[in-house]
Amino acid sequence: MAMADQPFVQRLDSLQHRFSFLLDFLRPLSLFFNLPFQLLKRFTFSLDLFGDGFAVLLFDLDNFKAVNDNFGHQFGDYVLRQLVNLVKQNLRNVDVIGRYGGEEFLLILPETSGPSALMVAERIRSTVEEA
């Protein structure tokens, strides 16, 4: 490995260690993205731009089991993809969304304070409610 690549590799190792707790719990939404690769890529980029601060939001889709039960899992997957598209409209390029559970999602918002994260959460909630 070239000497110039060592700091980058060390940074990736450090990021993977620091955020390994997230990688253990997050699962990507099918047809969405490979979360571990995207998470490391985006955090490397965003930490260069913004520094170390970030906020984490966790949310779920109310009554989603009824969608799967009444319309089937294929339609449920469609609903989840539409939800992700709505959420992404309210995020910056450096923000990361990942699937946490069946209908639960986790957002990582670099360089975002608690009050700013609350505003993002409300904007997302409002957008989904209006859809």
Active site residue 111: no
Phi, psi of 53 (to 5 degrees): -70, 145
How many C-beta atoms lie closer than 10 Å to residue 67's C-beta?
A: 17
- List 103, 111, 129, 130, catalytic entry: 103
Catalytic residues: 103
